[in-house]
Amino acid sequence: MKFGILYEHQLPRPWDPDSEYRLLHNSLDQIELADRVGYDYAWEVEHHFLEEYSHSSAPEVFLGAASQRTRNIRLGHGIVQLTTNHPARVAEKVSTLDLLSHGRVELGLGEGGSVTELHPFDVRFRDKREIWEDAVRCILPMFQREGWEYHGKHFDFPLRNVVPKPRQKPHPPLWVACSQFETIERAGRWGMGTLSFQFLSAEMAKAWVHEYYNNFTHNLEPLADYQTNPNIAVASPFMCAETDEEALEKADGSTFFVFALLFYNRHGPVEPGSISLWDEYQKWRKTDEGKKMHRSRGLIGSPETLRERLRKFEESHVDQVILINQAGKNSHEDICSSLELFAREVMPEFHERDAHQQEWKRQVLAGEIELEVIDPTTLTPVSMQSPKWKQASSSQRVEG
């Protein structure tokens, strides 16, 4: 099993003139550390206008900086919003980053998600899936063809050679954001890796893995001519410390991650500066919903606790666990010490067994292993997403 780290660049109020400056440079220090101690991936999101929740609106710039301070860690867009970016500009920026990083880019492609983000770019929420699929068909040939034109419903691109071309041929590995069980089926059918932000239990992860690979092996229907990427990554809140109690204390703001999503989905756009999400979060944590969320620890605990939980994910054949350490007001010092302790005490045994995972995957893809179909409704996920969140209006849901 491999391990990644994820950056939303959360920045709860109050802010001072140097808050964003410290945030970005601390994050670069953390990724440099992660590279040095052996983490496999660093993922960066793209969001717009989501105050406090995410100050990551230019991931290609941040990842470009990270590429010059690291040597081995894979640099992932998790995800690029194809609804708010022109396909040619995405291809240009991703290819440039791949060249600068000596071929270390992972390309997650997503729809973006709430009306707060989409409407300022003159994109209607109801059209986002259709726009995304049109953009995928438009962009992917740009990475490998010297001349390409595309005439679709949402993008009309004349014959041009999009330059530069990426270091990785034919293109960086492709991923798609998945927040619902039914999107796992689509990801498998499209042949893209899946970035799951559902915060699954190990039992539910197994159901997702089986659904994904069954569609990958039996119902493969790529949206365009591209190289498939059979991979499943699952994200989880994370903090590693010497004891469970210490880890919980250091990750005290970990549920701010889901609270901010809940807020933007329930309330939609808000007047800038009119509310402190962090203050509202303190009130929410005292509610029954907030208390329940805070008890869902994810991967927060001592090395022994995390080893025990990760072994269950390993048995589910998840390819990668993405650790969300930069959340709420988690301190730079605690994030760094957590990354170091986990890399020293937990990560090595799972890295050593990754060859077994790769052989299992080979056998599944070759048809030598048949996976049972698991009904997810018979399982209870340990999720950071509450029933209210799952039932939130589709016009407000955030994805990616």
pLDDT along the chain (400 residues), means of 10: 97 97 98 98 97 97 98 98 98 98 97 90 95 98 97 98 98 93 93 83 87 97 97 95 96 88 84 93 91 82 97 94 95 98 98 97 97 84 40 38
Residues 6+ apart with CB under 8 A from 231: 173, 175, 193, 194, 319, 320
Amino acid 198: pLDDT: 61
287 CB-contact burial (10 Å; exposed 0-12 / middle 13-18 / buried 19+): exposed
CATH class of the region 2-390: alpha beta
For 43, phi and psi rounded to 5 degrees? Answer: -105, 140
CA angle 284, 288, 294 (to 5 degrees): 70
How far apart, in whole angstroms, are the C-alpha atoms of residue 388 and residue 266? 9
How far apart, in whole angstroms, are the C-alpha atoms of residue 291 and residue 244? 18
- Hey, is 110 helix, strand or coil? strand
Alpha-carbon separation of residue 346 from 186, 350, 356 (angstroms): 33, 8, 18
pTM > 0.75: yes or no = yes
Helices 87-100 + 59-67 axis angle, to 10: 10
Amino acid at 183: T
Amino acid 267: pLDDT: 82
Amino acid 93: pLDDT: 98
Amino acid 263: pLDDT: 87
